[in-house]
Amino acid sequence: MLKNIHQAIDQSYSEMVEIRRHLHQYPEVSFQEFKTAQYIADFYEELGIPYETNVGGNGVIATLTGGKPGKTVALRADFDGLPIQDEKEVPYKSKHDGVSHACGHDGHTATLLVLAKVMQAYQAQLPGTIVFLHQHAEELTPGGAKPILESGALDHVDAIFGTHLWAPLPVGVLQTAKGTFMAGADRFEIIIQGVGGHGAAPHETKDAIVIGAQLVTQLQQIVSRRLSPLKTAVVTVGVFEAGETFNVIADTAKLIGTARYLDVETQEQLIQEMDMIINGVCVSHDISYTFDYQKGYPPLVNHVKEAELVLEAGKAIDDIHTTEDALPVMGGEDFSYYTLAKPGAYFFTGAQPEGEEYPHHHPKFDIDERALPIAAKTLIQTYFNYQD
């Protein structure tokens, strides 16, 4: 049966591309994906597959109950876009100014929708139940995964699997990890309140830019000099705002950034070290400050057994020539909440486009659409592996 399912997925390739390109033209940012959620609901309505809407927010969950006994497994796809201008010159370029699918979530959605359509034809022969989980708001904390779990909609699920179409990997490569796969991702904001003044009289001021620059430099020393070399972490200051004109010393500065880590102990050390550094620098300059540290998604930790099932699934698919047990990446993913609550695993499906490649979250980001059926086959192959 699986061979026939794989063939049916291949035969549905053009429909996957059509859906993906439609969604690509009409992206919606996190927590505002109302029309996208309606599109998904309408698809299941037309198929006649039972579904729920407004799950934990804009989430949509469809359920295909097989004709044979078995386990209940959720397959997840996210569907939010990003507040990034689409700069690609393609026929399916975003029609929404300042918003684009710059991470591949349109492809995730198209993959899962068409997989549901294919599997409906095999419902009588299907062991167990497939839960098609369409999740909103992956890109922005607090995310969509946590409220979906809190809604109780997945309480009956035995396991959960998901994939990311991953542009850094060539088509035909599958990666996952038996254990920690993606980093915890936090956000911080520091506001320095100094004393401004004339650029010709710096001795009469408390220069927020100079103080902020010291903070940027010292925060980088947390990873290089305060953490064990055996620990993995990142501290990045992505925003430094201060000053308005060339001859005035700024009285305030704002620093915004992210901290990434692979275990909770490292996260706590990062917070403590940042607090000490910020306090020490600001006290030494006799100025006030605020430090707001916001914990985001926890690290994504795959369950070993479920990750092994994914790797086994990849080896059974003709389009996949390489399956790899990969090192963790420092990107964050709210799929982490699912694996905290349920057995499961997340994996990367290679989707590197031919020609010039742009990273995820880039204005010219795109994927090789040949990855769509590969992702669908891997998800359903993993589903069947879990039933054994």
- Tell me, yes or no, if 319 is annotated catalytic: no
Q: Torsions phi, psi of 10, nearest 5?
A: -60, -40
Q: For 337, how many CA atoms within 13 A lie in the half-sphere containing its CB?
A: 19
Burial of 381 (0-12, 13-18, 19+ CB in 10 A): buried
Rounded Cα distance between 228 and 111, Å, is: 41
Q: For 124, how many CA atoms within 13 A lie in the half-sphere containing its CB?
A: 1
Q: Torsions phi, psi of 129, nearest 5?
A: -130, 135
CA distances from 160 to 64, 130, 274, 307, 343 (A): 15, 10, 36, 11, 7
- Strand ranges of the sheet holding 252-261, from the earlier edge strand across to the other edge: 233-242, 252-261, 184-193, 288-297
Cβ atoms < 10 Å from Cβ of 131: 21
Q: 294-307: string of b/e by CB count within 10 Å (b at 16+)?
A: ebbbbbbbbbeebb
Rounded Cα distance between 337 and 146, Å, is: 6
What's the per-residue H, E or C state across 209-253?
A: HHHHHHHHHHHHHHHHHHCCCCCCEEEEEEEEEECCCCCEECCEE
Q: Which of 28, 78, 86, 138 is catalytic?
A: 138
Letter for the amino acid at 215? L
Rounded Cα distance between 371 and 289, Å, is: 48
Q: Which of 80, 139, 333, 368 is catalytic?
A: 80
CA distances from 229 to 20, 184, 276, 329 (A): 43, 18, 20, 17
Positive or negative torsion for Cα 101, 103, 107, 113? negative
What is the chain's length? 388
- Tell me, yes or no, if 356 is annotated catalytic: no
CA distances from 210 to 184, 241, 257 (A): 30, 12, 18
Burial of 164 (0-12, 13-18, 19+ CB in 10 A): buried
Catalytic residues, which ones?
80, 138
